């Protein structure tokens, strides 16, 4: 095995493991969802911002951004803040498996947007994959709908989180054609953090007064999941063929569910497992057999990769 392939596999494994910790860290943080979402992005911004002072070329690049590019950065930051608000909230309303599986459906929404906005051809295989994924969603959501805990609300929020992160990926793929990684993610993370912080009083929450464990786990979501996880995962994703990349994308929910079992004691029901497997099968069909697969994977990986 050559060194480049070995490096890609190592970085990929690091990314998958790092991202899989996100749901467990969030549940262990034990604070209001808007607070956790805000702290994750605040810590991410603080950790990355020193690069602006260290690198003169980065400062020059950010100064040269046009008004249109700054508006797109603002839009990307909004989508990112909305995604974390919706997804973190969903984790407190439904199970980790449900939430992570449903939020992973973002490639389907990227494909739909590309088809209807960019007028790309929708193949029969896409509709098959979409129908399979929807069947899984009905099993997953139907199982929660008959429950008494209102878990179906968390399922809907996770799907909304998938739509918003699809918007983030789409805007990011446009900006990353002209900007470097840091010139993109530093403003976007900061903008998203500001959006979430400003809206905290509306939900009666504050960044102050939480436990040491809350700040620690939020810090870990920033370092382990956001900076290490997303960057390494997407770096490797760009260097893989579509079938392999697809398998890797749908491995995250499995890792998240396993870690939730270890750290939170969450055991998904048989219907949850069945629905999740069907959804992941649908996503696989969309990403492997769809003529748009190259564009979808490019959009999916481009936003936060070197």
Q: Are 126 and 111 in contact (CB under 8 A)?
A: yes
pLDDT at 123 over 80: no
pLDDT at 66: 94
pLDDT at 126: 83
pLDDT at 110 over 90: no
Of 32-36, 109-113, 176-180, 239-243, the one with minimum mean pLDDT is: 239-243
pLDDT at 306: 47
Tell me the two tokens of residue 115: 């088809």
Global pTM value = 0.90
pLDDT at 186 over 80: yes
Distances (CA, A) of 77 to 29, 153, 185, 199, 219: 23, 25, 9, 14, 19
pLDDT at 1 over 60: no
- Share the mean pLDDT of the chain: 86
**What is the pLDDT averaged over residues 6-21?**
84
Read off the pLDDT of residues 240-287 as tens digits, 9 standing for 90 and up: 665 555 666 677 888 899 999 999 999 988 888 999 999 999 988 887
């Amino acid at each position: 095995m050559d060194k480049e392939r070995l490096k890609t596999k190592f970085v990929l494994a690091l990314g998958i493991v790092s991202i899989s910790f996100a749901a467990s860290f969030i549940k262990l943080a034990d604070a209001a969802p808007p607070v956790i979402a805000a702290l994750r992005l605040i810590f991410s911004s603080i950790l990355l911002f020193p690069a602006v002072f260290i690198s003169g070329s980065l400062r020059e690049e950010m100064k040269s951004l046009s008004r249109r590019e700054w508006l797109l950065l603002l839009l990307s930051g909004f989508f990112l803040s909305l995604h974390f608000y919706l997804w973190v909230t969903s984790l407190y309303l439904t199970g980790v498996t449900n939430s992570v599986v449903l939020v992973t459906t973002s490639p389907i929404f990227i494909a739909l947007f590309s088809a209807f906005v960019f007028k790309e051809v929708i193949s029969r295989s896409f509709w098959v994959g979409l129908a399979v994924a929807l069947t899984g969603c009905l099993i997953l959501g139907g199982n929660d709908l008959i429950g008494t805990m209102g878990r179906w609300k968390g399922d809907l929020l996770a799907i909304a989180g998938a739509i918003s992160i699809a918007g983030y990926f789409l805007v990011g793929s446009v900006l990353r054609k002209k900007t470097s990684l840091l010139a993109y993610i530093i403003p976007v993370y900061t903008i998203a953090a500001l959006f979430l912080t400003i809206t905290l009083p509306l939900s009666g929450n504050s960044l102050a007064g939480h436990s040491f464990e809350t700040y620690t786990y939020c810090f870990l979501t920033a370092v382990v999941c956001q900076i290490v996880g997303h960057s390494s995962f997407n770096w490797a994703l760009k260097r893989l063929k579509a079938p392999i990349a697809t398998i890797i994308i749908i491995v995250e929910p499995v890792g998240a569910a396993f870690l939730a079992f270890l750290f939170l004691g969450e055991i998904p029901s048989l219907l949850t497992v069945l629905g999740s497997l069907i959804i992941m099968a649908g996503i696989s069909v969309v990403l492997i057999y769809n003529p748009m697969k190259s564009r979808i994977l490019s959009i999916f990986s481009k936003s936060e990769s070197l």
